[in-house]
Structure 1
Amino acid sequence: MNINNFRFDQVGLNRFFGPLEAKIMDILWEGSEKSIKQVQQRLEIEKSINFNTVMTVMNRLLEKGILQKRVEGRTSFFKPVKTKEEFIEEQSKKLTDNLLDEFGGLVVNHMLDSLTEVDQQLLNRLEEKIDQLKKGKKQ
């Protein structure tokens, strides 16, 4: 699944999705599959949202490969293809790979420079990764 429009000026899921898409995904990532009507009802807690609008957005997410659909009678049930954690992992990896391809070592330097507070666990994982890379290149 490819998210083509990464938004640097947004935060959270809004970096990958439009505002309504992000709200729908958050609802669907809560657990069990849901119908369009169930999602619409959850969204209406904040403001009135048209059923057809929710249906259109959910069908677009389906076309993008982010949701899957199951039909039972006349009702369609939707659920995410990946967990929220899997989705974020996949998209952050793609973003990092794209940045590295385009800008090389500068990206790594900037990432390290942006670590304002040293998280010892993160530092330990980075050291392990670097050691693995070094061992892999020596063989």
Structure 2
Amino acid sequence: MKIQKFKMNESGLNRFFGPLEAKIMDILWSGEERTIKDVQLELEKEKATNFNTVMTVMNRLVEKGLLQKRAEGRTTMFKPVLTREEFINTQSKEMTHELMDEFGSVVVSHMIDALDDADDDLVAQLEQKIKELKKER
């Protein structure tokens, strides 16, 4: 699944989702399958949220391929298609490939510049990855 909009001026999950979508995904990533009512009750701890609104957003997340639903008797259960880590990995990988395709060496240069702020473990991982790529060529 490809997220169509990446919001530079947001942070965390809000970069990929609308505010309510982000909260719903966060709730569903934190545990077991849940019903719409379960999610609504969790959301109400912060702010009153209409059941129909939650239902609409969750069904849209199903349509986008982010959630899956299954019937359990008369109840519909929802869960994420990917874990949070898988989602972030997939989206960041896709975004990186798109940036490389469109802007090439400029992106690489900026990524290298960003390493000034990176911790030593991340730099070591990058060095290892570069060594592996060189061996494969």
**1:35-54 equivalences in 2 (<5 Å):** 35-54=35-54
> For structure 1, which runs of at least 5 residues remain unmatched after alignment?
none
1:27 maps to amino acid: I
Higher alpha-carbon deviation: 2-11 or 117-126 = 117-126
Counterpart of 2:112 in structure 1 is 112
Please report how far the alpha carbon of residue 118 of structure 1 lies from its aligned counterpart in structure 2 after TM superposition. 4.0
Q: Secondary structure at the match of 2:116?
A: coil
2:75 maps to amino acid: T
Q: What is the alpha-carbon root mean square deviation over aligned residues?
A: 0.9
2:36 maps to amino acid: I
Please report how far the alpha carbon of residue 124 of structure 1 lies from its aligned counterpart in structure 2 after TM superposition. 1.1
How far does the alpha carbon of each residue in 1:14-52 deviate from its partner, in whole angstroms, 9 at most, with x for none?
A: 000000000000000011000000000000111111100
With the length of structure 1 as denominator, give the TM-score of the two structures. 0.95
2:134 maps to amino acid: K
Counterpart of 1:94 in structure 2 is 94
Q: Secondary structure at the match of 1:71?
A: strand
Residues in 1 aligned to 2:122 and 2:24: alpha-carbon distance in whole angstroms: 32
> For structure 2, which runs of at least 5 residues remain unmatched after alignment?
none
Contact kept, 8 Å, 2:115 with 2:123, in 1: the verdict is no
With the length of structure 2 as denominator, give the TM-score of the two structures. 0.96
Identity of aligned residues (%): 64
Counterpart of 2:124 in structure 1 is 124
Q: Secondary structure at the match of 2:70?
A: strand
**1:76-91 equivalences in 2 (<5 Å):** 76-91=76-91
Q: Secondary structure at the match of 1:78?
A: strand
Q: Secondary structure at the match of 1:60?
A: helix
How far does the alpha carbon of each residue in 1:67-106 deviate from its partner, in whole angstroms, 9 at most, with x for none?
A: 0101112211100011000000000000000000000011
Residues in 2 aligned to 1:20 and 1:97: alpha-carbon distance in whole angstroms: 28
